[in-house]
């Protein structure tokens, strides 16, 4: 896989801006990835994007109403943030970012771009990001995100900050002091260890020089054990970071936001702010609470470790809708289990539907609606007769609340039989599974025609799509509506 200096995330409606930036960077011998020039015909679109995102040094996000309305752009941004990549937003024509994108400004660094003067704006942008690109090209790849942002701020007049240095919050000052103290303690600790080791080595060398080998070996063994022990202790005590961008719908500027880890208060923010949490490896319950009683508390579990080190999570504390939305902690959650059926070749489509269901899980979990999704890969092949097929047939017949069929081109006999089983189960109990069919470019083969005939016969819910983003939007709309109906029935609302 080719490495790229810059990955540009954008909308095709903003090609004038993207072409100008790509051309300017290419002219200066930097490699640029844009999907309209860099993806070859016949390539797997999703796989190429993941590989390129991993291999790119800088993620340039073109922020316009067009790009930020795109699911692809949002997914690309979340991937690179969780991967710890450098992200520089390019705000075109002072565009006011939607609420779900404002967290990218938490670094207090971005680039303003005037589309009425593309040539000058492009020059300022390129001058602003060249310092970081040069460092990578010359082998200084260990630069942190913060180092890079500071360097860009020094070099480019086109960058803006959201607040002057003199207005740094009390929380940030306390964090800076804490980090400074931690560095000093670490240096002193390392110095003491080095001195101790040197003294031991002198004694060991003296013993060997005087040919007192037993004493030398006896002194050497504790040194080696101490070094190993200190190394193990250091590894176990390593801490990992989570960056939280917190905001609230509360309009009272005097309200505060309290961040707790395992019910231990670790930070207090005034209104909207960005905070860094550091914990040892493991799972921790994070609580975000506003001093305004009308605002709901957000609670989630985060895994601190190498895989999530430096991750960014956005939290928006929303107003409580009504007394019906306040759930008791001991209330039993309502399960909503989905089976995603379709040809094995439609792996990207099935993964896309699973991603949508994960988003809906985050939305509805607070109302005690728990969503889970399954495809045939999730079932073991432990039955001697029937095998894996029997496993997920049993799931459809006995557990699934929803069956989502993704059909494209031809339809195989297995998918047809799964549909028939879903219809039979629904007719027997009248409640589940609810059946949703999403079709694209069906052919005229016999099994396909049988499937279409049975869908029409049973009046099953049918939607047509042409690409994965459209499929994701349709599934989100349909399943979200189904969950809303379940919520209404569960709470006796009208």
Structure confidence at residue 392 (pLDDT): 80
Q: Which residues contact 353 (CB under 8 A, 6 or more apart)?
A: 340, 373, 404, 406, 471, 472, 475
Quick one: tokens of 340?
A: 């995603």
Segments of the chain scoring below 70 in pLDDT: 1-2, 35-49, 105-109, 136-189, 208, 211, 213, 216-220, 223, 230-237, 250-254, 271-273, 321-332, 380-388, 491-494
Q: What is the pLDDT of residue 129?
A: 84
Taking the C-alpha atoms of residue 35 and residue 253, their distance in angstroms, rounded to an integer, is: 43
Given this model, what pLDDT does residue 257 score?
A: 87
Beta carbons of 89 and 104 less than 8 angstroms apart: yes
Domains 4-162 and 334-491 share a fold: yes
Distances (CA, A) of 10 to 17, 18, 76: 9, 7, 10
Question: What is the residue extent of each domain of the chain?
Answer: 4-162, 170-236, 239-320, 334-491
Structural contact between residues 438 and 411, judged by C-beta atoms closer than 8 angstroms: no
- CA dist 21 and 24 (Å) reads 5
Is-contact 122 21, C-beta < 8 A? yes
What is the per-residue DSSP string for 78-119?
Answer: HHHHHTT-EEEEEEETT----GGGGGGGGGS-EEEE-GGGHH
| Assigned fold of 4-162 | Rossmann fold (3.40.50)
Triad 376, 382, 388: Cα angle to 5°? 25
Contact 4, 59 (CB under 8 A): no
pLDDT at 261: 87
What is the fold of 334-491? Rossmann fold (3.40.50)
The confidence score (pLDDT) of residue 161 equals 33
**Does the predicted TM-score (pTM) go above 0.75?**
no
Domain at 239-320, CATH homologous superfamily? Immunoglobulins (2.60.40.10)
**What's the pLDDT at 436?**
94
């Amino acid at each position: 896989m080719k490495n790229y200096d810059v990955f540009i995330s954008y909308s095709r409606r903003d090609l004038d801006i993207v072409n100008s930036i790509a051309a300017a960077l290419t002219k200066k011998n930097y490699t640029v990835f844009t999907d309209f020039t860099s993806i070859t015909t016949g390539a797997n679109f999703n796989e190429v994007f993941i590989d390129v995102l991993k291999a790119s040094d800088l993620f340039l996000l073109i922020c316009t109403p067009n790009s930020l309305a795109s699911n692809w752009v949002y997914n690309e941004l979340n991937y690179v943030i969780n991967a710890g990549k450098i992200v520089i937003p390019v705000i075109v024509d002072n565009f006011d970012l939607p609420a779900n994108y404002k967290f990218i400004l938490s670094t207090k660094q971005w680039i303003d771009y005037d589309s009425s003067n593309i040539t000058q704006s492009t020059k300022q942008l390129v001058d602003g990001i060249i310092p970081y690109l040069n460092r990578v090209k010359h082998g200084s790849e260990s630069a942190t995100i913060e180092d890079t942002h500071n360097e860009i701020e020094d070099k480019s007049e086109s960058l803006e900050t959201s607040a002057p240095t003199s207005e740094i919050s009390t929380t940030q000052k306390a964090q800076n002091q804490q980090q400074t103290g931690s560095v000093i303690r670490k240096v002193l600790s390392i110095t003491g260890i080095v001195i101790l080791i040197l003294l031991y080595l002198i004694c060991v060398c003296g013993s060997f020089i005087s040919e007192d080998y037993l004493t030398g070996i006896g002194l050497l063994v504790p040194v080696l054990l101490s070094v190993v022990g200190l190394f193990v202790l250091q590894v176990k005590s390593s801490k990992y970071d989570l960056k939280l961008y917190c905001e609230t719908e509360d309009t009272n500027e005097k309200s505060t936001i309290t961040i707790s880890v395992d019910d231990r208060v670790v930070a207090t923010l005034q209104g909207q702010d960005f905070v860094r949490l550091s914990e040892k490896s493991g799972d921790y319950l994070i609580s975000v609470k506003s001093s305004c009683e009308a605002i709901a508390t957000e609670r989630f579990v985060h895994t601190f470790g190498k895989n999530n080190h430096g991750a960014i999570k956005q939290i928006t504390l929303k107003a409580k809708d009504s007394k019906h939305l306040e759930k008791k902690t001991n209330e039993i959650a309502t399960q909503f289990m989905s089976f995603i059926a379709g040809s094995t070749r439609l792996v990207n489509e099935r993964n896309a539907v699973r991603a949508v269901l994960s988003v809906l899980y985050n939305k509805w979990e607070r109302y005690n609606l728990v969503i889970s999704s399954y495809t045939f890969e999730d079932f073991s092949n432990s039955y001697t007769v029937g095998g894996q097929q029997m496993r997920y047939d049993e799931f459809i017949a006995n557990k699934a609340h929803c069956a989502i069929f993704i059909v494209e081109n031809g339809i195989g006999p297995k998918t047809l039989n799964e549909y028939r089983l879903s219809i039979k189960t629904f007719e027997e109990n009248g409640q589940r599974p609810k059946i949703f069919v999403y079709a694209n470019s069906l052919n005229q083969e016999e099994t396909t025609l049988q499937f279409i005939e049975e869908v029409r016969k049973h009046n099953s819910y049918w939607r047509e799509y042409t690409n994965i983003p459209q499929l994701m939007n349709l599934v989100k709309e349909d399943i979200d509506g189904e969950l809303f109906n379940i919520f209404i029935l569960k709470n006796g609302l009208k």
